[in-house]
Amino acid sequence: MRRTTVRIDEQLLNEAKAYAARKGRSLNSVMEDALRQLLNRSTEAAERPRVELITSTAEPGFQPWVQERLDAGEKLEHIFYDLEDEARIEAMH
């Protein structure tokens, strides 16, 4: 096996050494596993199908009846509680 010189941030290297010691592993095996995981993640990400997100065409803001109550000085949390009460009453019927 050919030896290669790699420069690693000293603090990161110390953390890796401590991790290896806690796990009873060699520093080399910890670094190999970390590189494998990084390479596998990038391969998996490239193979995933693209996800198309659906966006709303609705106008921003509150429903008109909610906005009217807000304009009249009510707090949004009170309007929300009213809706919860209505839902509980409907559930009882």
Q: What is the pLDDT of residues 6-15, one digit of tens each?
A: 899 999 999 9
Angstrom distance (rounded) from CA 83 to CA 86: 5
Angstrom distance (rounded) from CA 90 to CA 84: 10
Taking only Cα atoms into account, the Rg of the chain, rounded to an integer number of angstroms, comes to 29
* Report field, pTM of the whole predicted structure over 0.85: no
Q: Determine the average pLDDT of the residues in 7-26.
A: 96
Least confident of 10-14, 28-32, 60-64: 60-64
Question: What are the Cα distances from residue 38, in Å, to 17, 33, 35, 82, 86?
Answer: 19, 9, 5, 50, 52
Phi/psi-derived region of residue 7, left when phi > 0, alpha when psi is between -120 and 50, beta in every other case: beta
